[in-house]
Chain A
Amino acid sequence: MSIAAHLPALQVVLPLISAPLAVLLRRRDLAFWMVTAAAWAAFATAIQLWLQVAAGGTISYHIGSWPPPWGIEYRIDRLTSFVLLLVSGMAAVMLPYARSSIEREIPQESHYLFYAMFGLCLAGLLGITITGDAFNIFVFLEISSLATYVLIALGRDRRALTAAYQYLIMGSIGATFIVIGIGFLYLTTGTLNLADMASRLRGVESSRPVLAALAFLTVGISLKLALFPLHQWLPNAYTYAPSPVTAFLAATATKVSVYVLIRFYFSVFGESLVYERLPLPQIMLGLSLLAMFGASFIAIFQNNLKRLFAYSSVGQIGYITLGLSFDSVNGLTASIVHLFNHGIAKGAIFLLIGGIAVGIATPGAVSPAPTSPKGAGRREAAVPSNAREAATPHTFDRLAGLAQRMPLTCFGIVLGGLSLIGVPGTAGFISKWYLILAALEQGQFWLVGAILLSSLLAVAYVWHFIEVAYFRAPPVGQVARKEAPLAMLIPAWLLIAATIWFGLDTSVTVGTALDAARQLMDKAQ
């Protein structure tokens, strides 16, 4: 068989083997090229798969030629191809950025480890998305999660360790819940293949193990996707992780979790069970509203830019789950589109924020990252005395008047912020439009009001940044213009351009999402 027939396997395998190779190579440049090449190849593969699925329908790939339900099946429908596109695209854009960014954030000896972990994380996320096998989902989830914990812990601030530890505990609880849920399903149906599972569940949907499985999976996945009130791990993790890690996680990790939730709800349990017989839509609606208002409200009062946008992520996830709660094509479309649009916008914002650290670092603190062997204790000793200041460059009092020094960076963040608000002409507007359509379809005008009012909260927190960066006087003696290096600006602006592009031309995003939503709703009925 030609290579083209094995694209689904290559999608995961390439990043997966790039990771150990990066470790073996040890040289940071080689490791960088290794993982980046794998990510680019994965992106090319994802585009190819997206085209194939758009033209020829769902692809089913049998690993080792074992037919399902015995063998592991990779199954790519419209939704899968869309999420693959997002995840691999983000990795392809962010890796070149990371190379320049971690120069300042991570000791040089650990760079190859960073790339290896990045590759693993990517492979895990792609694997979760592409596989059609329940246990496989768990395995890839663990791969990506473990890599994520390490990546977060690499952050320069010592609090990154705590954050990673917290996320480790919470992530493990979540993963345990997921595996318990999958166990219940396996117990009931005797199969791990998702499609097979779905067909065998017919008739026994209301049995207690199935309901318990649904509960465990819902809570476990909600934890991973940071659905209010299970979001508490997220702000710390995003705040203290190295910039490229924050950006990549914000753009992909929670989004893939949403994908898993959609997959289980619509392709395994079935819409009729989840939405008609159980009060899930109401719960989802309530939690989403809490996220939209609660988290956005908290975001307004943050004093740290990264943390502000981390809380904003929790709020934006609320929009995604709100779309799920409608149980309609438009609602699902809104979720899927927002998953994509928000991923791009938030990724871009966090990339730009990473650049700020470079721009405002005081001369003494920009010294290349401390060179010391691994191990927290000794690393601490090597960190310069003003490390605490250097490690938290994103507090608002240090950002005063930033727009004069870093006009491109600040303008980019504002544009990304407009997308978070949902201003027409940006990608965020498209998702909100479909959310509102879905709400209006069901005649819920109050919900339209709620969606729009919560956008005003987004206005408030984006405004907080604008006020500080554009209207406060810069600290004395720090007026020289100093942008982040081009290697960091270009990827970030590429994504900003994408948020504008997808706000104007919606054929790719809405086209795919509508198809995917229809596909899911059809299958579920």
Chain B
Amino acid sequence: MNSAAAASLILHPALILIAGALLLPLLRGTARNVAVLSAPTLALVALWLLPEGRLWQLQWLDYSLAPLAVDKLSRLFATIFVLMAIVGGLFALRQQSRLEIPAAFLYAGSAIGVTLAGDLITVFLFWEFMAVGSTLVLWSAGTPGAWAASRRYVAIHLAGGVILFAGITGQILATGDAGFHAMRADSIATWLILIGFLINTGAPPISAWLPDAYPEASWSGTVFLSAFTTKTAVYVLLRGFPGTEILVWIGTFMIFYGIVYALLENDMRRILAYSIVNQVGFMVVGIGIGTEMALNGAAAHAFAHIIYKALLLMSAGAVLAATGRRKCSELGGLFHSMPLTTICGTIGALAISSFPLTSGFVSKSMVTQAAADGHMQAVWLLLAAASAGVFLHAGIKFPWFVFFQKDSGLRPPDPPPSMRWAMILFAFLCIALGVWPDPLYALLPYAVDYAPYTAAHVITQLQLLLFSGLAFFVMLDYLRRTPTITLDVDWLWRIAGPVAARSFRDALRITRAGLNEQLLSGRQAMADSIARHRRPDGLLLRSWPTGGMALWVMVMLLAYLALYYLR
């Protein structure tokens, strides 16, 4: 154990990735490309060499911290995060911005740090680093839109961090233990922690930060953003609040929120961003149900989701990089010249719709099955309906409007090899996990007693998909996108807040102007005389504030004296 501990002393996967992030800006050319791919690969190797248990322990103040603790659940999430960093790095190799990949590695490394943290303090630390890293990724897009979005994004995440931290300190004080274990939402502190976690999942009422920010990143930045923040939140909920019933309803809301807004949306990457909220909703429902099957399902779904969502966003990113257009109404017919992108995007779309033989099928069906097993008919029905909705908005809508539909006349070529290989890798994983789910099941925290490919499962799912597919083409005219903007809650802080602030300021100014006029005439005479006396010496002219200060001193003294004597 000692030797293992000594070995792990230098090999914290999160720190490897963060060190890589710090090293990258110094490198150029091939050396940089090698480093981009080798840093996360090294982290992956390090991760799998780690034994289970609380590997790093240290005393801080009166608490014992475990910055490196490994069990099956954390290894599962850390693994997919590292994989994401590798493939994302490969996809982003040709990104012009020199800031983006280092920022993304800081972001990914912090996400891994959260999953490997055995105590709440470490969770919080990496949580905040994650906010910083993701903001930098967003920023490196370098457009005014990204800049503005990054400020809104960081404000919400810092506020979320404040709430989380208040909860964490309260919890540690109440229990005297800094360890990160399952909690019950039954005190102010645990509620605050839960709220802090939920903000990062994109839960209502402020889900809107996610579709507001993610589509503003660069063509490669969105791929990174889609993977870490929400899924880290899913991880901490899995560990901290399994079986908390309110999560079932929050998750259900998220599912439908995502579907409705995605159906209304025109921007291809915003469609996919809304669909992140929708998919995370499935995971949150699973966590809320809380049975072993449901938790397994949530974890597996997070794993599969990262892969196919990244794949979808990579195909969207390839389109964006090639055409510079992001609206469905301006795209179409790209399959002529981008066959590979079309195939990969379609595989991602099939996976997100849980088509049999794709990764989405073997993971999402676990959650719905868990709802059925738990005799939660309402939930099961809603989930089934939502599955159809997912196919509508992400499964058909995205590939149909972007790659097929009317011919927009654009003939961009398929992207360069690095991007192609990144897409092929994840497309392969989508299919492989769907055909052969056992390796994924073996990674899950609980023993899996579930067979996805029963006749009933497959037929139910196919029926759902076929009918919703039919519905899509029947209603195609209604779904055809017009270049509109959809209102969301973020209107509150993007438009209403500033307007309210401005009108408040104006009102204040008017009141003050009125008051001033009253006072001015009386004060003018006095001020004039004072100024006259002080003008000769420029120095004294400034000393009027000194008088003001002295006045304050007197006021304070009188206040103290009065309060003391009255007692």
Residues of A within 8 A of B (CB): 161-162, 165-166, 169-170, 173-174, 177, 208, 211-212, 214-216, 218-219, 222-223, 229-230, 232-233, 277-279, 283, 423-425, 430, 433, 436-437, 440-441, 445, 448-449, 452-453, 455-456, 459, 506, 510
A165 contacts B539, C-beta separation under 8 Å: yes
B162 contacts A455, C-beta separation under 8 Å: yes
Cβ contact of B553, chosen from A230, A277, A445, cutoff 8 A: A230
A211 contacts which chain B residues (CB < 8 A)? 561, 564-565
A424 contacts B124, C-beta separation under 8 Å: yes
- B552 interface hit (Cβ, 8 Å): yes
- B128 interface hit (Cβ, 8 Å): yes
A455 to B158, CA, bound (A): 10
Stretch of B164-172, B249-257, B434-442 at the chain-chain interface: B164-172
A162 contacts B539, C-beta separation under 8 Å: yes
A283 contacts which chain B residues (CB < 8 A)? 559-560, 563
B552 contacts A232, C-beta separation under 8 Å: yes
B557 contacts A440, C-beta separation under 8 Å: no
A170 to B549, CA, bound (A): 7
Instruction: Tell me the nearest residue of chain B to A176, going by C-beta.
Output: B553
A169 contacts B550, C-beta separation under 8 Å: yes
B564 contacts A166, C-beta separation under 8 Å: no
A452 contacts B539, C-beta separation under 8 Å: no
- B61 interface hit (Cβ, 8 Å): yes
- Secondary structure type dominating chain A contacts: helix
- B530 interface hit (Cβ, 8 Å): no
User: 1/0 per residue B515-554: CB within 8 Å of A?
Assistant: 0000000000000000000000001001101101110110
A423 contacts B128, C-beta separation under 8 Å: yes
A424 contacts B125, C-beta separation under 8 Å: yes
Cβ contact of A433, chosen from B169, B545, B557, cutoff 8 A: B169
A455 to B163, CA, bound (A): 12
Q: How far is the CB of B136 from chain A (nearest CB, A)?
A: 11
Residues of B within 8 A of A (CB): 60-61, 121, 124-125, 128, 158-159, 162, 165-166, 169-170, 173, 188, 539, 542-543, 545-546, 548-550, 552-553, 556-557, 559-561, 563-565, 567
A216 to B546, CA, bound (A): 19
B564 contacts which chain A residues (CB < 8 A)? 211-212, 214-215, 278
A279 contacts which chain B residues (CB < 8 A)? 563, 567
B567 contacts A277, C-beta separation under 8 Å: yes
Q: 23 A–B contact pairs at CB < 8 A?
A: A162-B539, A162-B542, A165-B539, A166-B546, A169-B550, A173-B553, A214-B560, A214-B564, A215-B560, A215-B564, A230-B549, A230-B552, A278-B564, A283-B559, A424-B125, A433-B61, A440-B170, A445-B166, A445-B170, A449-B166, A452-B166, A456-B158, A456-B159
Instruction: Tell me the nearest residue of chain B to A506, going by C-beta.
Output: B61
Instruction: Tell me the nearest residue of chain B to A504, going by C-beta.
Output: B60
B125 contacts which chain A residues (CB < 8 A)? 424-425
Instruction: Tell me the nearest residue of chain B to A167, going by C-beta.
Output: B546
Q: How far is the CB of B186 from chain A (nearest CB, A)?
A: 15
A437 contacts B550, C-beta separation under 8 Å: no
A-B contact sample (13 more), CB < 8 A, given A170-B549, A230-B556, A455-B162: A166-B543, A166-B546, A169-B550, A170-B546, A173-B550, A173-B553, A215-B564, A229-B556, A232-B552, A283-B560, A430-B61, A506-B61, A510-B61
B166 contacts A436, C-beta separation under 8 Å: yes
B545 contacts which chain A residues (CB < 8 A)? 166, 232
A215 contacts B557, C-beta separation under 8 Å: yes
Instruction: Tell me the nearest residue of chain A to B565, going by C-beta.
Output: A211
A425 to B121, CA, bound (A): 11
A424 contacts which chain B residues (CB < 8 A)? 121, 124-125, 128
B559 contacts which chain A residues (CB < 8 A)? 283
A218 to B564, CA, bound (A): 12
Cβ contact of A445, chosen from B61, B188, B549, cutoff 8 A: B188
A161 contacts which chain B residues (CB < 8 A)? 539
Instruction: Tell me the nearest residue of chain B to A437, going by C-beta.
Output: B173
B561 contacts A215, C-beta separation under 8 Å: yes
A-B residue pairs, 3 tightest by C-beta: A215-B560, A452-B162, A211-B564
A229 contacts B543, C-beta separation under 8 Å: no
Cβ contact of A219, chosen from B124, B128, B166, B557, cutoff 8 A: B557
Q: A169-B550, A424-B124 are in contact. Are A436 and B565 (CB under 8 A)?
A: no
Q: How far is the CB of B347 from chain A (nearest CB, A)?
A: 39
Centre residue among B60, B125, B166, B567 by max chain A CB count within 10 A: B166
A254 to B60, CA, bound (A): 29
Instruction: Tell me the nearest residue of chain B to A503, going by C-beta.
Output: B60
B563 contacts which chain A residues (CB < 8 A)? 278-279, 283
A170 contacts which chain B residues (CB < 8 A)? 546, 549-550, 553
A99 to B556, CA, bound (A): 40
Q: A437-B173, A452-B162 are in contact. Are A219 and B121 (CB under 8 A)?
A: no
A425 contacts which chain B residues (CB < 8 A)? 125
B542 contacts which chain A residues (CB < 8 A)? 162, 166
Q: A448-B170, A510-B61 are in contact. Are A218 and B560 (CB under 8 A)?
A: yes
B162 contacts A449, C-beta separation under 8 Å: yes
Q: How far is the CB of A329 from chain B (nearest CB, A)?
A: 13
A506 contacts which chain B residues (CB < 8 A)? 60-61
Q: How far is the CB of A157 from chain B (nearest CB, A)?
A: 13
Instruction: Tell me the nearest residue of chain A to B566, going by C-beta.
Output: A279
A437 to B165, CA, bound (A): 12
A168 to B165, CA, bound (A): 43
A423 contacts which chain B residues (CB < 8 A)? 128
A229 to B169, CA, bound (A): 31
A208 to B566, CA, bound (A): 11
A437 to B553, CA, bound (A): 32
A436 to B548, CA, bound (A): 35
A232 contacts B549, C-beta separation under 8 Å: yes
A321 to B549, CA, bound (A): 20
A8 to B549, CA, bound (A): 37
A174 contacts which chain B residues (CB < 8 A)? 553
Q: How far is the CB of B17 from chain A (nearest CB, A)?
A: 18
B162 contacts A440, C-beta separation under 8 Å: no
Q: A433-B169, A506-B61 are in contact. Are A232 and B159 (CB under 8 A)?
A: no
